[in-house]
A and B are shown apart, each in its own frame.
Chain A
Amino acid sequence: MRRTRFLAAAVPGLAIALATAGCSALGGTSPAAAQTGITTLVMYSGQHEQTTDALVNAFEKQYPAIKITVRSDDEGVLAQQIEQEGSKSPADLFYAENSPALEVLQEKGLLAPAPPAALTAIPAEYDSPKGDWVGITARVTCMVVGNSVPAGQTPTTALSLGDPQWKGKLAFAGSETDLQPMITAIAAKYGVARAAEWLRGLKANAADHLLPDNETVTKDVDSGQVQIGVVDHYYWYRQAADDGGTAKAASRIAYFADGDPGFVMSVSGIAALASSAHKEAAGTFIEFLASPTAQKIIAGSDSFEYPLLPGIAANSELPALSTLHPGTVSISELGDGSTAISLLQQAQLL
């Protein structure tokens, strides 16, 4: 009995002692915030962690008076979180993987106008039409094709992927945000009814290969389990880099024909939040991301995305952006992705 009583007192006592001692381990106080003359920004980021980290480090070196704390999670969760936080959000910046996440928040009035210098530096077609966020990197939709498929026999249009001849040979990840721009573009070109029919065909063709994410799509094509996967280009390059180089891959990239509506360039961008108390410092970071220093870091990183500042060449493994001729769907047509979401829900993919 005495032992039990001792334990009953000791366990909470010990825990409280530990908690006090480990306050910094729990994240109770932020040492950076205590320093005078230093502005600490909080950035919610759904982007590639490694590249984001390199960008933040380079920024802090160039602007020693500003520190950035990054909160990484899925961009959809972060967008939901910012919406719930509303005017009280602790975040100053939101770095999203795809434009719809930013457009959703922009429509709700949660973003602050972007710094004009950054909007001017990056070509207008890659920025928010309303001017609340700035495009930083781009990626294009493509097919990953297994080497067992002869070069002349790959489909050339996204629309033809819904044809019965690809039954059992196709894979895609319906729940990835990267698929939505393609669906929106098809709906914008051929109408919602045709897009719904196309999506049904796509689903039937990929019945055995409806996968959870683009990494798995790329992996399954490369290991020969399925012949064609629909992804954004960088998934294939990242996986090839991990597996020892593009030359060793058992699969290749095939782009859709020039100007095909399914050949979509989508943009990853950054915005300052309307609720931020440090909009000026946040603007400084946005301008930095649009500067040659940051764009060169992106070009040289393993994220294999295209930098958007004119004059900065992409990673040398990638075909130059100027040689790619995607369809003409615009950022504002891509919007908040709600058309694509309701089409995906109709097809029971979401």
Chain B
Amino acid sequence: MSAPAETVPGGAVVSAVPSFRARRRRRPVLLSGFAGAAAALTLLPLVFLCIQAAQAGWSPLLRLLFRSLTAQLLINTVELACCVTAACAVIGTAAAFAVERTDLPLRRVWSALIVLPLAIPDFIVGYTWSSLWPALHGLGGAVLVMTLSLNPLIYLPVAASLRASDPGLEEAARSLGLGPIAVFRKVTLHQIRPALLGGCLVVCLALLAEYGAFEILRFQTFTTTIYTEFTRAFSSSAASALALVLVLLGLAVLAARHAATERRGLAARAGGAARRPPVRHRLGLRAVPVSVGCALLAGLSLGVPISTLAYWLTQPRATTLPALATVPAAAETTLLYALLAALGATALALPVALYVDRHPRRLSRLLESVALSVQGLPGLVIAMALVFFSVRFAFAVYQTPLLMVGGYAILFCPLALVCARASLTHAPARLEEVARSLGARPSVALVRVTLPLMAPGLAAGFCLVFLSVVTELTATLLLLPTGVETLATQFWAYQNDQSYAAAAPYAAAIVAIALVPSYLLGVWFDKRRGA
């Protein structure tokens, strides 16, 4: 699927020239209509939060917000986000550099092993660690567990960017007398900067929304407290007020990313015209510690949860709780929902990505930022918003598969959006204009030129959403049609009853299903040229 991407040398260079876009003043009605509708859907959770907060009135909300608990949550959340993002950035970049720029043996194997932890749901990773090491909780535990499960999100884009960047620059710098560290700092880091920042953004937003792992590791963040307020205080207004703070945090992360890319963004894209395999650093004996490091990373992030699962699978099933759905039946349901949701999220993201890329105005950028910041909201809030709106305005779809698929699509649309936006660097507006100047109608130009060029990126987004749906729990419990069971809800039912041996087959099936898209994602980033 990546074949068409290779036909556009220097796509990044073209997109750096703004004059072609600036000339296109005519507003495409259909595209902006679709983009507007999609953006409106992703904004529903925000509207819901504002309505709930407004209903409660200002004074109780201010009392709930301005107290020491909020300050503590803010400290916890920011500390966690900084530590994990920094740790992931270092580990992910180091691993990517070792795989892409050195002669490390078994590079392909390491690459696959580093990516596969994406397939293991956070609640399984969290449980594994806390059962192996009961004293592991608080900030330290949360940083360890989240770093292990999120570092592939940095590794993937950075490795792709290293692969795509022009090694000639590094070689020139070396020939001018710079040492290896100076070359990395002055040249390589500069080239991978956009990819690294993009990865950091996704990691930060994932941390803001994380619930399952922190609940198990006893680490209080905004998201765990929002959940508690919703369930324990029977108060959606207190939870909504806290969730609005979370949205602001998400926007702050986006603004920070934006500021960092704006400052030096274009220079980093200079490479791309002449691409050839890099001269790899010879590791020699240093290959041993580097291999040990990779093995340690893979062992901790993949080996530990998988061996715990294997242990559960061999334990006798003590529970008398009858299964509501067999593993194959629950797997079929999960698979179907994941496929449909991935399609839905891609369909939502595509018009927004096209619109923002082709018509970069302040309004469209703002819409994109807000849509992305929703990724930082917990699934429970988004699901509650959909319950609120569907009960009032679309009761016919309430507790039907349609609403569940729509819920997943909104929840994970930001992931598809990030991938679609990245893939548009391969499909510059100029190519579409050439097609139109040759007589193709806009829709034909879109279908025959732009979409095929975007296809690999859209496919990557599809895989990422698929993966996230398979491992999602809180929104699923709330929106699933009554009487239907997915792998995650069955795992939850047994785990609630402390029957881990009975829960294990469902967890194993989740991991097995999620391995396919994780592997495909790894392959896609592996083949990707120009990021």
Q: Is the pair A73, B387 in contact by a Cβ cutoff of 8 Å?
A: no
Q: Is the pair A77, B477 in contact by a Cβ cutoff of 8 Å?
A: yes
B67 within 8 A of A: yes
Minimal Cβ-Cβ distance residue in B for A176: B232
A295 within 8 A of B: no
User: Cα distance A180–B231 when bound, in Å?
Assistant: 13
Interface residue tally for chain B (C-beta within 8 Å): 64
Q: Is the pair B481, A26 in contact by a Cβ cutoff of 8 Å?
A: yes
Most buried by A among B1, B64, B455: B455
Contact of B321 among A49, A177, A215 (CB under 8 A): A49
Using Cβ atoms and an 8 Å threshold, which residues of chain B touch A242? Answer: 318, 498-499
Q: Is the pair B498, A26 in contact by a Cβ cutoff of 8 Å?
A: no
Contact of A4 among B4, B229, B497 (CB under 8 A): B4
Q: Is the pair B493, A348 in contact by a Cβ cutoff of 8 Å?
A: no
Minimal Cβ-Cβ distance residue in B for A49: B493
User: Cα distance A23–B216 when bound, in Å?
Assistant: 35
Using Cβ atoms and an 8 Å threshold, which residues of chain B touch A42? Answer: 482
Q: Which of A78-86, A120-128, A146-154, A313-321 contacts B (4 or more CB under 8 A)?
A: A78-86
Query: Closest Cβ of chain B: how far from A229's Cβ, in Å?
Result: 14
Using Cβ atoms and an 8 Å threshold, which residues of chain A touch B320? Answer: 50, 302
Contact of B384 among A80, A101, A177, A336 (CB under 8 A): A80
6 sampled A-B residue pairs with Cβ under 8 A? A5-B452, A15-B340, A26-B333, A26-B401, A71-B483, A90-B398
User: Cα distance A71–B485 when bound, in Å?
Assistant: 10
User: Cα distance A84–B478 when bound, in Å?
Assistant: 12
Q: Is the pair B230, A76 in contact by a Cβ cutoff of 8 Å?
A: yes
Minimal Cβ-Cβ distance residue in B for A216: B218
User: Cα distance A19–B332 when bound, in Å?
Assistant: 11
Q: What DSSP secondary structure best describes chain B's contact surface?
A: helix
Using Cβ atoms and an 8 Å threshold, which residues of chain B touch A223? Answer: 134
Q: Is the pair B64, A212 in contact by a Cβ cutoff of 8 Å?
A: no
B207 within 8 A of A: no
Using Cβ atoms and an 8 Å threshold, which residues of chain B touch A225? Answer: 134-135
Query: Closest Cβ of chain A: how far from B526's Cβ, in Å?
Result: 19
Minimal Cβ-Cβ distance residue in B for A28: B401
Query: Closest Cβ of chain A: how far from B350's Cβ, in Å?
Result: 12
Q: Is the pair B481, A72 in contact by a Cβ cutoff of 8 Å?
A: no
Given that A90-B482, A211-B218, A348-B69 are contacting pairs, would A50 and B497 also be in contact in the complex, using a CB cutoff of 8 Å?
yes
User: Cα distance A90–B404 when bound, in Å?
Assistant: 16
A61 within 8 A of B: no
Query: Closest Cβ of chain A: how far from B303's Cβ, in Å?
Result: 25
Contact of B233 among A5, A15, A30, A341 (CB under 8 A): A341
Query: Closest Cβ of chain B: how far from A172's Cβ, in Å?
Result: 13
Q: Residue-by-residue, is B72-84 near A (CB-CB < 8 Å gives 1, otherwise 0)?
A: 1000000000000
Using Cβ atoms and an 8 Å threshold, which residues of chain A touch B4? Answer: 1, 4
Q: Is the pair B230, A26 in contact by a Cβ cutoff of 8 Å?
A: no
Inter-chain CB contacts under 8 Å: number: 155
User: Cα distance A210–B339 when bound, in Å?
Assistant: 40
User: Cα distance A70–B482 when bound, in Å?
Assistant: 7
Q: Is the pair A90, B218 in contact by a Cβ cutoff of 8 Å?
A: no
Query: Closest Cβ of chain B: how far from A71's Cβ, in Å?
Result: 4
B66 within 8 A of A: no
Q: Report B's interface with A, CB cutoff 8 A.
A: 1, 3-4, 64, 67-69, 72, 134-135, 215-216, 218, 228-236, 238, 318-322, 324, 329, 332-333, 336-337, 339-340, 343, 380, 384, 387-388, 391, 395, 398-401, 404, 451-452, 455, 462, 477-478, 480-484, 493, 496-499
A322 within 8 A of B: no
Q: Residue-by-residue, is A282-317 near B (CB-CB < 8 Å gives 1, otherwise 0)?
A: 000000000000000000001000000000000000
Using Cβ atoms and an 8 Å threshold, which residues of chain B touch A30? Answer: 483
Beta-carbon contacts under 8 Å, A231-257 to B: 238-239, 242
Q: Residue-by-residue, is A7-44 near B (CB-CB < 8 Å gives 1, otherwise 0)?
A: 11001100100110011011110100000000000100
Q: Is the pair B229, A350 in contact by a Cβ cutoff of 8 Å?
A: yes
User: Cα distance A22–B333 when bound, in Å?
Assistant: 8
Q: Is the pair A212, B482 in contact by a Cβ cutoff of 8 Å?
A: no
Using Cβ atoms and an 8 Å threshold, which residues of chain A touch B318? Answer: 242
Minimal Cβ-Cβ distance residue in A for B135: A225
Using Cβ atoms and an 8 Å threshold, which residues of chain A touch B233? Answer: 341, 344-345, 350
Minimal Cβ-Cβ distance residue in B for A348: B69
Most buried by A among B238, B401, B451: B401
Given that A49-B496, A212-B215 are contacting pairs, would A3 and B343 also be in contact in the complex, using a CB cutoff of 8 Å?
no
A160 within 8 A of B: no
Using Cβ atoms and an 8 Å threshold, which residues of chain B touch A104? Answer: 234
User: Cα distance A198–B247 when bound, in Å?
Assistant: 35
Beta-carbon contacts under 8 Å, A313-350 to B: 336-337, 341, 344-345, 348, 350
Query: Closest Cβ of chain B: how far from A273's Cβ, in Å?
Result: 14
Q: Is the pair A86, B451 in contact by a Cβ cutoff of 8 Å?
A: no
User: Cα distance A5–B231 when bound, in Å?
Assistant: 48
Contact of B391 among A25, A28, A85, A210 (CB under 8 A): A85
Nearest 8 Cβ contacts at the A-B interface: A76-B231, A27-B481, A27-B484, A26-B401, A348-B69, A50-B321, A175-B228, A69-B483
A197 within 8 A of B: no
Given that A74-B231, A336-B234 are contacting pairs, would A4 and B1 also be in contact in the complex, using a CB cutoff of 8 Å?
yes
User: Cα distance A70–B481 when bound, in Å?
Assistant: 11
Minimal Cβ-Cβ distance residue in B for A32: B483
Q: A27-B484, A242-B498 are known; give 4 further A-B pairs, CB within 8 A.
A: A19-B336, A22-B332, A176-B232, A345-B69
User: Cα distance A287–B494 when bound, in Å?
Assistant: 29
Minimal Cβ-Cβ distance residue in A for B228: A175
Q: Is the pair A80, B483 in contact by a Cβ cutoff of 8 Å?
A: no
A280 within 8 A of B: no
Query: Closest Cβ of chain B: how far from A17's Cβ, in Å?
Result: 11
Contact of B232 among A1, A11, A76 (CB under 8 A): A76
Given that A8-B451, A26-B337, A350-B229 are contacting pairs, would A80 and B234 also be in contact in the complex, using a CB cutoff of 8 Å?
yes
User: Cα distance A11–B455 when bound, in Å?
Assistant: 12
User: Cα distance A69–B324 when bound, in Å?
Assistant: 11
Contact of B478 among A27, A73, A211, A344 (CB under 8 A): A73
